Structure 1
Amino acid sequence: MTAIAYPLAPEAVVSPLAELRRRHPALASAGFAFVMLAAISASLSLVDGRLIDGVSVWAKPAKFFLSSGVLMLSSAWFFGYVRPERRNARPLRLSANLLIGFGVFELAYITFQAAQGARSHFNVADVPHYALYAMMGLAALGMLATKLVLAREIASRPAENLSPELRVAVVLGLVLTAILGSLSGLSLSANQSHNVGAVGGAAPIFGWNRLGGDLRVAHFFGMHAEQAIPLATAAAAAVFGAAWGRRVALALAVLIVAATLAVFVQALLGRPFAV
């Protein structure tokens, strides 16, 4: 009998670090490095008391190192759902290299600015800063675009042991992360701020605005579709069967789109997200 590939299957969780390296060594190594750098950046706030808008200068590098690291580790895992003979195909090899390269460029600029006690995002004080901010935005869009390349490959040439319902879930998650993450990111850039209306307070962990609207909430919802949909689908299929797994994948995809749009409109109206 052919084995079915679920993210939560016992063989996949015996050694998740080794499994990630097996699926895509370069993405796994970069992802782990970024997560470690996130921890280092966060710890720097203990010895460096400088603030930007009331927040440690090292908070943004820590968050972006973690977010980009998770983005790379997710892609490394999903490479395991591509046929082995296709994993080194030129489009996939290029997309992985671009994901790492764009991530390194974006975080290098964010960290450099933090070290100087200056803003990286929405900093258009002069031509060099405007150009670097624009390049950073293009790099972020490029990172998300690599998800579409991976989604296309999994949709058209999946690994033989990938179950149909998980295939649907992974493709939906990757596509929604690319689209919703890009659109919400562009709205942040166009607004030249993540805040709308009154500004004050910060939600625990996330730092979201507690007095007015915050466009980062919609960005967060959209960016994590690629993890939420496959995990929920795998759990539902393992407990209730393949048919329920497919239903959960489709229902959660609709729910994530609806929730992302809802919190986006809420932010535009200047209303805080209840946390």
Structure 2
Amino acid sequence: MASIAALAPAAPSILALLAERQRTLTYYGAAFLLLALVTAAAQIFDTRLVDGVNVWVKPTKFFVSVGVFSLTAAWFFGYVRQERRRSRPMRAVVALIVLAGTFELAWICWQASQGLASHFNNSTPFYSIMYGLMGLFAVLLVGTTLPLAWEIGRRPAEGLRPPFVAAVVIGLLLTFVLGGGLGGYMSSQAGHAVGPEGSGLPLFGWNGLGGDLRVAHFLGIHAQQALPLMAWLARDFAVPTLWTVTLGGGALYALLTLAVFAQAVAGLPLLA
């Protein structure tokens, strides 16, 4: 009978692959996903609400969001030349992601533990300052996509086809412009909802009665995953077709995100 070890897959796990690309961000992102499970479980035992939502829902969402952001950055380090991965700009990217993500989640979790809102909370001068600092660290976090895009665009790792490199760079730039820009607009408002509010959509909790600015922000942030995935799925096409998919897909994704944003600003729900 074959041993269990012999039946185990020879290929390294996804975590090991990520760690080969960027160890710190891999373990940091994985730790945040584990903490998301902890805060999700906390909702069972702590039933306090903030604005009608369990206090641990927001920490759970942000642990997942920052965790996925960190793991994505770790993966993209594999598209940076080996000798450049420890360069000063790349070390700064790692440090900023860890610093910004830790600050945001520490404050969000602290406020949750107190049964208080972390976002859109200007009830005291101190809370206003902390909300402003969260905005600053959010800009720094999303801004790490720029040096990554610059490094990958100028000096991509060997073996990458130009259309795929373009898809990675465009995705990172759209994440900064759309994810960061629309997130900044949302933060400057009184809240994420526009018009009547209620009937949250399953899983995401987006407003089901009126507009919700979080939808466009979500699409913008995840452009960095969507565009490279689109190019990867079209990898067997001829090069001219692959360029069409990359550039056309980027344009369509940006237009879709802006259309969803306009829909939310008009006070219309994502789904009727």
Q: Is the 8 A contact 1:234 1:245 kept in 2?
A: no
**2:121 counterpart residue number:** 123
Which residues in structure 2 correspond to 1:83-94 (within 5 Å)?
Answer: 83-94=81-92
Look up the match of 2:160. 162
**Aligned position for 1:207:** 205
Give how far 1:242 is off.
3.4
Structure 1 residue 187 displacement after superposition: 1.1
> Which residue of structure 2 lines up, in the alignment, with residue 273 of structure 1?
270
Provide Cα deviations, 1:124-169, integer angstroms capped at 9, x if missing partner. Answer: 1111111111001110110010100100000001111111111001
Distance (Å, rounded) in 1 between the aligned partners of 2:24 and 2:12:
21
Q: Aligned partners of 1:249, 1:198: CA distance in 2, in Å?
A: 38
Q: Give the aligned partner of residue 54 of structure 1.
A: 52
- Would you say the 8 A contact 1:195–1:209 is kept in 2? yes
Q: TM-score normalised to the size of structure 1?
A: 0.93
SS in 2 for 1:88: coil
Higher relative contact order (CA 8 A, sep 6+): 1
**Deviation at 1:274?**
0.9
- Check if 1:253 corresponds to 2:250: yes
Task: State the shift of 1:192 in Å.
Answer: 2.1
Classify the secondary structure of the residue corresponding to 1:273: coil
Number of aligned positions between the proteins = 262
Residue of structure 2 in register with 1:26 after alignment: 24
**2:149 maps to what in 1?**
151
- Which residue does 2:35 correspond to in 1? 37
Contact 1:197 1:213 in 2 (8 A): yes
Alignment partners' CA distance in 2, 1:192 and 1:91? 36
Alignment partners' CA distance in 1, 2:178 and 2:102: 22
Secondary structure of the residue that 2:45 maps to in structure 1?
coil
User: Aligned letter for 1:260?
Assistant: T
Unaligned runs of 5+ in 1: 1-12
| CA RMSD, 1 decimal | 1.2
The aligned residue for residue 8 of structure 2 is none
- Separation in 2, partners of 1:140, 1:39: 23
What is the match of residue 75 of structure 2?
77
2:206 aligned partner, one-letter code: W
